Amino acid sequence: MKQEERRAKSPFVFATDPGLERGSGDLQATMLRLEQYLGRYLQQEVQVMLSQNYEEILTGLEEGTIDGAKLGPYAFALAQARLGVKPLANPIEIPSAKGELPPPYRSLIFTRADSGITHLAQLKGKSFGFVGPHSTSGYLVATFLLQQAGIDANVDLQPRFLHSHQVVAQAVLRGEVAGGAMMETEWIRLAQKEHSLPLRRLATSPLLSRGPVVIRQGLPTQVERGLLAALEQLHQSQEAFKELLLFPGHRYTAAVHREHTLKTIADLAGVSYATVSRAINGRDRISSTTTARILRLVEELGYRPNINARSLHKGRSDLIAMLLPTLEYPQINEIVAGIQSQLHEAQMHLLVCPIGLLDTHERVMQQNAYLHMLTSGRFDGSILTQWSALDSLALDNVIRSGNPYVIFEQDILSEGLQVVYDWLREQGSRKIALIIGPTTWLEPATLQRFGAQFPDICVYQLTDMEQCTNLIERLQSSLEPPNAFFCSDDQTAWHIRRSLKVSTEMPLLVSCGRTSLARLSGWPSLTFNGSTLGRVVAGRLLRMLNKPMSPCEEHVTFHVETSTIS
């Protein structure tokens, strides 16, 4: 009896959602006013605690030191499964006077705009910022997006838990981590505060459900009613303290207690209802890694299927689009054949969309028209080149659509160029001129970043082939002329060779692509198996679409070809 009396006299302890931006005002004064607001409805003293992480909240709810809390979807699912907590109120959106809804709740993966990273796969081996292990948007959903791109967050990344969405963003901005995950609402809040946000989106999750306010078991009915009334009226307050519990443009409504459903699992896993159903029922057309992840959530949350539930099916087009600047890519026929062979195994089809050799304005218009088509729901995924990926607005639209994409030159940029550099060093080259011509098929900014990594490479970019002769004359007459020319493509290499003065010690000349021009002319050139590259690229995309594939893992092999056609 004495213990119950002490408990009755102790304050009602309420824990806020960890990891969110708390505003720029006097935090202690804001907390005090929230305590007073809640206390008026509960008719007792209230203590608001700013939790550092969800684990702290779950422990407090279990031990009875926390009475109520604002939880994210994943933390709530765990708390309901393990502790039997009761959802009291759910946040819902309030349309504006113009009928506009507030920003959606989604997970966002991003990097610095100048990092050179344009796809999730490029994060492999790098440091990465998460909010916390029980954060839905700042960890759980983000790890699924990474897994779809072939990255295991525990094995392939150097993870750091920073316990705040805003701290994750600041760590990426300062270069402390290569990438990070955060809630899109917090991204928007930061962008509004900073006015200019030099960050680039890499992936966006499907829409998520926001988590509820929960209470522990055993609280008196009048306490439940008082807290619910306070939450239902919170959005009408003009005080800043409401932002500790409620996002702008939202209000609370009474929660309906429900057991975990397939939709709960789908929301947390970041996949469709139908995908969860197929995983649980052991059907085909879903990858083993996705199945394992879903089944772990099912076991963790104690889900039991309702035998009367009917399956819902998400419409699929089974179409993949490939957006190319031109059709003049080296080995493009072999690359496309490799892509098609892999897609055929998954019962999918490829549509190639070339932009063509147009002037700048028409090229932008054509690309935007294709990108609009790619994001309109007609395609299940897309294969892009670095040319499209470095258009931040275009890439952002693709990411926002939720459809997965891959960069098809990724292996060439990450491994192929390194092979050429290593080959030149083996030949004794110690001063290398990297020449980027106007006919380059690899995106110039990417080549410039590659060359900037090495002190023995000087990068030169030509806007017109007429500049070639003057550049070569200037370089050959310098005090330390280059002893190797690394050319972006075969046409540039041909013009460089024509401009070189014949001498007893001719510099090495090497190009990228190994077209018929290089084979007939006889200079060394980077080459690869186009069909294998196509299969590898398509395989990455199919994994992101949760499509089953044959267990054979292929790898693109690059080498410098020096033989000629007789």
Any idea where the domains of the chain sit in the sequence?
2-100+210-254, 107-204, 319-408+533-547, 411-528
Which regions of 148-263 does DSSP assign to beta strands (E)?
158-161, 179-183, 199-204, 213-215, 250-254
Beta bridge partners of 159: 128
C-beta separation of 216 from 411 below 8 A: no
What values do phi and psi take at 134, rounded to 5? -110, 10
Dist. CA 164–CA 410, nearest whole Å: 32
Q: What would you report as the CA-atom Rg of the chain, rounded to the nearest whole angstrom?
A: 28
pLDDT at 103 over 90: no
How confident is the model over 457-467, as a mean pLDDT?
A: 91
Q: What is the pLDDT of residues 43-80, one digit of tens each?
A: 999 999 987 778 888 889 989 999 999 988 778 877 87
The one-character DSSP state at 556 is -
- Residue 404: pLDDT band (50, 70, 90) is confident
- Residue 87: pLDDT band (50, 70, 90) is confident
- Looking at the domain covering 319-408+533-547, what would its CATH class be? alpha beta
Q: What is the pLDDT of residues 245-293, one digit of tens each?
A: 887 778 888 876 555 566 667 766 667 666 776 665 554 556 666 766 6
Q: What is the pLDDT of residues 480-529, one digit of tens each?
A: 899 999 999 999 999 999 888 766 567 889 988 888 888 888 899 999 98
For domain 411-528, which architecture applies?
Answer: 3-Layer(aba) Sandwich (3.40)
Higher pLDDT, 397 or 37: 37
Q: Do domains 2-100+210-254 and 411-528 have the same CATH topology?
A: no
Dist. CA 260–CA 93, nearest whole Å: 22
Dist. CA 413–CA 395, nearest whole Å: 18
pLDDT at 224 over 80: yes
Alpha helices per DSSP H over 25-161: 27-42, 54-63, 73-83, 141-148
- CATH of span 2-100+210-254: 3.40.190.10
> Residue holding tokens 């080296």?
330
* Assigned token pair, 43: 């008719």
pTM summary value = 0.58
* Assigned token pair, 196: 């200019």
β-pairing, 12-15 with 558-561? unpaired
From the CB of residue 315, how many other CB atoms can be counted at a distance below 10 Å? 7
- The closest alpha carbon to 105, from 185, 191, 169, belongs to 185
| 19-23, 160-164, 232-236, 321-325: range with lowest mean pLDDT | 19-23
What integer pLDDT is reported at residue 310 of this predicted model? 34
- Measure CA of the first residue to CA of the last residue in the chain; give whole Å: 100
Q: What is the pLDDT of residues 316-357, one digit of tens each?
A: 568 899 988 888 888 889 999 999 999 998 889 999 988 876
* Assigned token pair, 63: 């031990």
- CATH of span 107-204: 3.40.190.10
243-274: burial string, b at 16+ Cβ within 10 Å, e else: bbbbbebbbbeebeeeebebebbbbbbbbbbb
CA angle 37, 41, 43 (to 5 degrees): 105
